[in-house]
A and B are shown apart, each in its own frame.
Chain A
């Protein structure tokens, strides 16, 4: 099992360009998450999807959109990239059986916006 797979691993964009970050998990998890990680600020939740067909805003959703394509895939889109969106983006998934289940993270996408 690959776990959580993110593509691409690295990307450089110009201000105003758009792009979609892809995430897929093979653990049959219901919930999926997108975080951004900035120095000294830990991980901040952008959007999440508690189950297929649903999405909700997290702590820092402005400038992003998401799509839960199916149970496996959850994509993050930047419609008009801004330098403030330079960050490392992590996708995570979680099973929903039982209370307090850990989130499993992908390897991250390092995004630079010039």
Chain B
């Protein structure tokens, strides 16, 4: 089955700096890669996703890149703000999504 590894487990940045979180996956059949943000005590919420037919996707300050050859994908947050502080999860799945596997999470702290 799919195995997703996520690094780093914790990340602390200064407000305004960029943050990068990296994930690797094992199953070459995976073709859908969502990223979720989870604030303390809240539900995971989708912030961006990418499908294997594209290499990069941007949404304002958030971008995701995908390298299918190397089986890794990354989340980039620019101009970080204190409200970006949360746990971020990457995930990978194939077409039916029923095999989705999540990374262990990255706790991002943005210091004002």
Chain A interface residues (CB < 8 Å from chain B): 31, 33, 40-45, 48, 50, 56, 59, 90, 94, 99-108
Contacts and interface: CB of A to CB of B under 8 A. Distances in A.
A32 to B, nearest CB: 10
A56 B98 CA distance: 9
Contact residue range for chain B? Answer: 20 to 34
Top 9 closest pairs, chain A to chain B, by CB: A100-B32, A42-B102, A105-B43, A43-B102, A102-B46, A42-B104, A100-B51, A105-B44, A107-B43
10 contacts: A31-B97, A40-B104, A50-B96, A59-B1, A90-B43, A100-B31, A102-B34, A103-B97, A105-B45, A107-B42
Nearest to B36: A105
Contacts of A94: 97
A94 B32 CA distance: 13
Contacts of A104: 46
B25 interface: no
Given A105-B43, A105-B45, 10 more contacts: A40-B105, A41-B104, A42-B104, A43-B44, A43-B89, A50-B98, A59-B1, A99-B95, A102-B49, A106-B43
B67 interface: no
B105 to A, nearest CB: 5
Given A56-B98, A99-B32, A99-B95, A42 B89 contact: yes
Contacts of B45: 105
